[in-house]
Structure 1
Amino acid sequence: METAMLRALRLSDPNLSCFDPLRRIISHDDFSRGHCGWSQLVGNYEDTLDTMLPGYAQHTSAMLSTLSHWDAGSHGGVDSSYALKIATRARPGAQNVAIKRLTTRERGPIRFECYFTFKPEATELKLSETDVRSFGFLFDLQGGDTDGDVERVMPHVRFLNAEHGKHIQKWQFKSKTSEMLKIGDDDKTATHYHLSPDGWEDLPDGDQRLCYNEIATKVNWSYLRFDFDLASMRATSLRCNDREFDVSGFAPMRIPAMKNLWCMLNFCLFAETDVAKRAFLYVDSICISGEF
């Protein structure tokens, strides 16, 4: 339980007062300090890179960005010059994913918070509000080697902004993954592309119109929060700006535990384009916290 003194100390810190963390902060990623552990999601392979699934082969490294653009220079972050930039390739349906790899020491509630914005690359003199197909996040979790009935659990959440040129604007989750494939002959590595475009389900009352400014280079930052319980492996809350969504029917992906991923606590951010133009997901800062 958070004490009044601890809460007052956090509220007095401008770097943390914009978040609402649980009692223990696991990491606070301010991208004015660098990548803070966020790197490219590289697909599994063995002996040759040709065994990597095409979905992973398209990924590139996340970048630090000042949100530069042609008409006014640089936008910058919320309160510094830099943000993390996740950029797709310029091909309809292309995706890119950044990952932060941790392990857990307690099974309890965790909270993921961030400030984000999204845009297509400003290559045309028009708003292009339907050029970004989606953006989102996922966790990749597994219990400890002495836990009973351990599964690999992967909650996925995305904001489907548009599809085939049509504005949609709703939150979705995904509970089923693609087929698990073995790689190599040593039975050490397997792979599955869990961000394949099929299988997404709508959150109840998950429609939301996010702020999207009037020209192709303007951005406004939004707040996102997701709560998940590592003890029950269940989602408990999803909030974006002034809206909190019903997650009572939310179901994460569940697959058999992998023999070398004990206590895994991974976080991913992703973007997807709908047209032959790069889509950008910018993240100003992230706070990951837990109740332990």
Structure 2
Amino acid sequence: MTQLDDLRRAIRESDPQLSRFDPLPRIICLDDFDRGMCGWTQLVGNYEDTLDAMLPGYAQHSHAMLSTLPNWDFGSHGGVDGSYALKIATRARKGAQNVAIKRLTFRKAGPIRLEAYFTFKPEATELALSETDIRSFGFLYDLQIGDMSGPGDRVMPHLRFLNAQDGQHIQKWQFKRRTTPIKPIGSAGKTITHYHLAPSDWEDLPGGEQRLCYNEIPTKVNWHYLRFDFDLAAMQATRFQVNDRVFAMDGFDCIRIPAMKNLWCMLNLAFFAETDTDKRAFAYLDSVCLSGDF
């Protein structure tokens, strides 16, 4: 290691907020939701002239919120080291989804690393564990090459933890390489849309079975660590880790569609939740760190 590497490590390890992560040299954003929304917002679908043009998948989304993880038996749970987390809540309808997104661009096509502390629970509306009421928790990048890089692609890596399906406890990671048909919006020829989080076309990540900690009553939560490494130059995933498990990425691929004319150097990241019952699903993010090697 160089002297600069030693200095970076010393600075990181002296900061409790940062030392819980293993970032690459440049911190792009370090979002602790005790400080507010930190740029995370609702994933709104494309429209033109009327909101009715929005695809139904997007129309169901609502804004994420700050939460102390309140409950009816011991008050508020709080985050890992503070009072607030970012809460992504679905509607109370089986199969409903919700998404929180952060919209950025990149300055160089190099390695990036997403790290987060997350947890999920259904709304505690009954005195039962309800471990199969959450269908899935997941995350994605939405990426596009720079305008001088040739025709290229828009690349969308997706991963979800399929917790349950129709009441069956499944507990495995899945990915997507196909999206729904791309549709034009309006008459100006400027806007198109597709719903990439449709329930179809999810594939099992090889070796992706994992049992996550899910505490014994409906209001307790435990925080999980997540890391996803991606190379923007090659547009390929390089590492995926959740808690103590590092998954092989040989069988993983991304949604790849032709680059769009107004999305150059796009670097969006999003997290989502989906319910398997007519009960709201809650996904929580305590903190998110995006870093790069550029």
The TM-score range, normalised by the shorter chain, is over 0.9
Cα displacement (A) at 1:149: 3.5
The 1-side partners of 2:63 and 2:53 are apart by 20
Aligned residue runs from structure 1 range 1-292, under 5 A? 3-292=5-294
Find the aligned partners of 1:235 and 1:149 in 2 and give their Cα distance. 21
Matched to 1:250, the amino acid is F
Secondary structure of 1:5's counterpart equals helix
Question: How far apart, CA to CA, are the structure 1 residues paired with 2:13 and 2:289?
Answer: 14
Cα shift readout 1:230-257 (whole Å, capped 9, x = no counterpart): 0000000000000000111211000011
Deviation at 1:155, TM superposition (A): 0.2
Alpha-carbon distance in structure 2 between the residues aligned to 1:286 and 1:125: 32
Q: Is the 2:151–2:258 contact (alpha carbons within 8 Å) kept by the matching residues of 1? A: no
Please state whether the residue corresponding to 1:125 is helix, strand or coil.
coil
CA contact (8 A) 1:236 1:248 kept: no
1:150 offset after TM fit, Å?
1.7
SS in 2 for 1:16: helix
Cα distance in 2, alignment partners of residues 268 and 13 from structure 1? 26
Q: Equivalent residue of 1:36, what SS?
A: coil
Structure 1 residues not aligned, in runs of 5+: none
Q: Which whole-Å deviations, capped at 9, do the CAs of 1:173-231 have from their partners, x for residues lacking one?
A: 00000000000111100000000001001111100000000000000000000000000
Q: TM-score under structure 2 normalisation?
A: 0.98
Structure 2 residue matching 1:270: 3-state secondary structure: strand
SS in 2 for 1:10: helix
Question: Separation in 1 of the partners of 2:53 and 2:227?
Answer: 36
Question: Is the 1:116–1:224 contact (alpha carbons within 8 Å) kept by the matching residues of 2?
Answer: yes
Counterpart contact for 1:107–1:229, Cα < 8 Å: yes
User: d(CA) in 2 for partners of 1:111 and 1:150?
Assistant: 22
Question: For 1:40 and 1:204, how far apart are their aligned partners in 2?
Answer: 31
Partners of 1:155 and 1:252 within 8 A in 2:
yes
Q: Number of matched residues?
A: 292
Q: Percent identity?
A: 72
TM-score (structure 1 length as normaliser): 0.99
Q: Is the 8 A contact 1:41 1:59 kept in 2?
A: yes
Contact 1:121 1:278 in 2 (8 A): yes
Aligned-residue CA RMSD (Å): 0.7
Q: How far, CA to CA, are the matches of 1:39 and 1:222 in structure 2?
A: 22
Q: Helix, strand or coil for the counterpart of 2:199? A: coil
Residue type at the aligned position of 1:243: R
Q: Deviations over 1:152-178 (max 9, x none)?
A: 000000000000000000000000000
Name the aligned partner's letter for residue 63 of structure 1. Answer: M
Segments of structure 2 that go 5 or more residues without pairing to the other structure are none
1:255 and 1:272 map into 2 onto residues whose CA distance is 25
CA distance in 1 between counterparts of 2:8 and 2:70 reads: 38
Cα distance per residue 1:54-100 (max 9 Å; x no partner)? 00000000000000000111000000000000000000000000000
Question: Aligned partner of 1:6: which letter?
Answer: R
